[in-house]
């Protein structure tokens, strides 16, 4: 084979390679190498083809041989770095990428691959620096800004991430990846209305994109608009039946609005697609929870632990085992180093010391049903923290009597658990649609309660307290405490099971009991939704 024939054969091999006909391309590369064993391009490209087929050891051997011929080839080093990454040798992949960048500092593929490698290792700040280099070198290439935005979002640099996604949208307002990225940033900020609007654009522009529907569903789920969420999760699952996240999210929405069995069906589909989905096993454990038969829930918790969700799943498993054998000693919260796991066990121990016979339920609506059924006689039914109206609509469906809802619709007035800042849970002033028997009182509790109490001095039958923080809960007791008496039912939405629970709704309630002299009986609780149902008893004489 003369030089001209070698060139023609290589051209044909590259053409077949680009068309995806790897077997043909490999045969042609091997023909060239049989004639010229040290042919650099044939060695490199044959290595790439082998890598694409998953033959990583052969690929690396071929690329290393090519490296001996041209040790400073940035393209080859980039290929070799990718092969090392695919073997799971991230350290060697990183050093190879960095060597490639010494010879070609602006090479786009190598920069993107190195940034992605840092992301895979959970090092978003390192990834940000690499993607910033890529964006500076290739400012008009959208992918550099998209990847930069993802790294910034993973590193909790939310505003900077939004700027990166907006850079792409300034050039292409219909970019689905940029719209989804921007929407997820807004969700992270707690700007749920803006997030839904942005993600709705992604779905409008790209109605066949399953990820756009899945992300919009998450926005509706955060707003407790579970029917809308389920619609988009189902659409995502229909568009891409292999998308495990969509089926898992669908299970979460169905758990709130349908039956646990329907939720389990969705979770099982997700887990069949991805058995390593820790969240799926955790969700399945919640959906299958039955106080009189904990076996299936425990099995799912053990699966979650196997997939890396050890701390929380182990905490719940420990509690469920104690529920199976309540005569055994209570678990020791001090044995958990994980802060949230410790708070879950700590809350359970507290409740068992106070009310060992309290009913444990999994779903919010089951808690609300039990609370309503436990309330008796005439009196006011109130909710504090309406948000988008999911729970107050359910309470209103249980009675024809008036139900009063209080909310500023501007979010919580101060920071709370999990670094949620003032303004979290805002509806941006949007007042939700509610049934005719619901009366909403818009404003801060300190402003709306005094005139309400003046017009409604009668006894309180049931209060759903979903305002999370101490100051707001304390305000409720300050203005309404005198109207609460024996038989009043209190539903605390965030009573325990999170770090710092002792300083918020629980603390305000303990102070009210001390000042009023009332006793209390804990009727029910949820390990998973953090709720507790309490009935006030006669004041001590």
pLDDT, tens digit, for every residue of 8-31?
Answer: 999 998 999 999 999 999 999 999
Q: What is the rounded distance in angstroms from the CA atom of residue 278 to the CA atom of residue 122?
A: 17
What count of other Cβ atoms lies within 10 Å of the Cβ of residue 184?
Answer: 23
Q: What is the mean pLDDT of residues 324-335?
A: 93
| DSSP strands (E only) in 294-447 | 359-360, 380-384, 403-407, 438-442
Phi, psi for 89 (deg, rounded to 5) = -90, 80
Total structural domains within the chain: 2
Could you tell me if residue 188 is inside a domain? no
Could you tell me if residue 121 is inside a domain? no
Shared-domain flag, residues 336 and 377: no
Return the minimum-mean-pLDDT range out of 35-39, 187-191, 349-353, 480-484: 187-191
Domain span at 305? 295-351
Shared-domain flag, residues 330 and 378: no
Q: What is the rounded distance in angstroms from the CA atom of residue 186 to the CA atom of residue 199?
A: 10
DSSP string covering 223-290: TT-HHHHHHHHHHHHHH-TT-HHHHHHHHHHHHHHS-HHHHHHHHHHHHHH-TT-HHHHHHHHHHT--
Nearby residues of 450 by Cβ (< 8 Å), 6 or more positions away: 479
pLDDT band at 420; cut points 50, 70, 90: low
Query: With contact defined as beta carbons under 8 Å apart, do 312 and 344 qualify?
Result: yes
Q: Which of 320, 351, 382 is the last residue of a domain?
A: 351
Shared-domain flag, residues 384 and 458: yes
- For helices 56-69 and 74-87, the axis angle rounded to 10 degrees is 160
* Predicted TM-score (pTM) of this structure: 0.87
CA angle centred on 270, ends 310 and 277, rounded to 5° = 20
* pLDDT for the residue numbered 428: 78
3-state secondary structure of 489: strand
CATH number at residue 476: 3.40.50.150
Shared-domain flag, residues 326 and 369: no
Could you tell me if residue 262 is inside a domain? no
pLDDT at 417 over 70: no
Shared-domain flag, residues 308 and 422: no
Mean residue pLDDT of the chain comes to 94
Query: With contact defined as beta carbons under 8 Å apart, do 110 and 100 qualify?
Result: yes
Q: Which of 333, 351, 369 is the last residue of a domain?
A: 351
Shared-domain flag, residues 526 and 452: yes
Shared-domain flag, residues 408 and 455: yes
Shared-domain flag, residues 299 and 380: no
pLDDT at 454 over 80: yes
Could you tell me if residue 299 is inside a domain? yes
**H runs (alpha helix) in 415-533:** 445-455, 470-480, 505-516
Q: Which of 309, 331, 351 is the last residue of a domain?
A: 351
Could you tell me if residue 516 is inside a domain? yes
Shared-domain flag, residues 346 and 459: no
Shared-domain flag, residues 372 and 344: no
Shared-domain flag, residues 312 and 367: no
Query: With contact defined as beta carbons under 8 Å apart, do 29 and 53 qualify?
Result: no
Return the minimum-mean-pLDDT range out of 222-231, 272-281, 422-431: 422-431
Q: Which residue has the tokens 């042609």?
A: 28
Query: With contact defined as beta carbons under 8 Å apart, do 229 and 218 qualify?
Result: yes
pLDDT at 293 over 70: yes
Shared-domain flag, residues 343 and 404: no
Per-residue pLDDT tens over the stretch 133-185: 999 999 999 999 999 999 999 998 999 999 999 999 999 999 999 999 999 99
Q: What is the rounded distance in angstroms from the CA atom of residue 214 to the CA atom of residue 115?
A: 26
Could you tell me if residue 30 is inside a domain? no
Percent of the chain with pLDDT over 70: 98
Could you tell me if residue 479 is inside a domain? yes
Q: Parallel, antiparallel, or unpaired for β 359-360 and 519-525?
A: parallel
Could you tell me if residue 72 is inside a domain? no
């Amino acid at each position: 084979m003369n030089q001209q024939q070698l060139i023609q054969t290589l051209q044909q091999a590259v053409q077949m390679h680009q068309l995806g006909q790897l077997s043909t391309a490999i045969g042609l590369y091997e023909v060239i190498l049989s004639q010229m064993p040290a042919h650099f391009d044939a060695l490199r490209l044959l290595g790439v083809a082998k890598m694409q087929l998953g033959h990583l050891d052969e690929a690396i051997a071929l690329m290393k041989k090519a490296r001996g011929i041209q040790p400073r080839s940035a393209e080859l080093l980039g290929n070799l770095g990718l092969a090392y990454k695919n073997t799971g040798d991230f350290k060697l992949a990183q050093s190879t990428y960095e060597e490639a960048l010494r010879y070609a500092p602006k090479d786009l593929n190598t920069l993107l691959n190195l940034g992605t490698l840092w992301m895979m290792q959970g090092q978003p700040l390192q990834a940000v620096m690499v993607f910033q280099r890529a964006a500076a070198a290739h400012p008009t290439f959208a992918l550099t800004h998209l990847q930069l935005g993802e790294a910034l979002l993973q590193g909790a640099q939310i505003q900077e991430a939004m700027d990166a996604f907006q850079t792409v949208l300034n050039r292409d307002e219909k970019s689905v990846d940029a719209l989804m990225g921007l929407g997820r940033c807004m969700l992270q900020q707690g700007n749920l209305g803006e997030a839904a609007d942005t993600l709705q654009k992604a779905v409008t522009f790209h109605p066949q994109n399953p990820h756009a529907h899945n992300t919009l569903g998450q926005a509706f789920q955060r707003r407790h608009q579970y029917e809308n969420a389920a619609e988009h999760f189902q659409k995502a699952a229909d568009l891409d039946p292999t998308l495990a996240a969509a089926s898992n999210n669908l299970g979460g929405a169905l758990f709130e609005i349908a039956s646990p069995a329907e939720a389990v069906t969705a979770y099982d589909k997700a887990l069949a697609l991805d058995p390593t989905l820790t969240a799926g096993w955790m969700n399945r454990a919640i959906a299958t929870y039955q106080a009189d038969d904990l076996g299936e829930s425990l099995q799912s918790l053990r699966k979650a632990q196997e997939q890396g969700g050890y701390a929380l799943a182990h905490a719940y498993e420990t509690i469920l085992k104690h529920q199976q054998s309540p005569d055994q000693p209570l678990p020791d919260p001090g044995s958990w180093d994980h802060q949230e796991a410790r708070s879950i066990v700590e809350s359970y121990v507290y409740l068992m010391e106070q009310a060992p016979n309290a009913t444990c339920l999994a779903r919010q609506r089951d808690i609300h049903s039990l609370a309503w059924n436990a309330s008796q006689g005439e009196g006011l039914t109130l909710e504090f923290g309406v948000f988008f109206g999911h729970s107050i609509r359910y309470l209103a469906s249980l009675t024809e009597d008036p139900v009063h809802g209080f909310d500023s619709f501007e979010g919580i007035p101060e920071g709370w658990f999990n670094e949620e800042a003032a303004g979290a849970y805002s509806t941006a002033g949007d007042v939700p649609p509610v049934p005719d028997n619901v009366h909403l009182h818009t404003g801060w509790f300190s402003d709306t309660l005094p005139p309400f109490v003046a017009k409604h001095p009668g006894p309180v039958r049931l209060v759903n307290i979903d305002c999370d923080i101490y100051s707001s809960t304390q305000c409720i007791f300050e203005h309404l405490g005198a109207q609460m008496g024996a038989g009043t039912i209190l539903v605390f939405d965030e009573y325990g099971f999170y770090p710092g629970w002792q300083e918020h709704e629980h603390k305000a309630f303990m102070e009210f009991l001390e000042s009023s002299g009332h006793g209390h009986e804990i009727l029910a609780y949820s390990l998973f939704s953090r709720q507790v149902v309490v009935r006030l008893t006669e004041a001590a004489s």
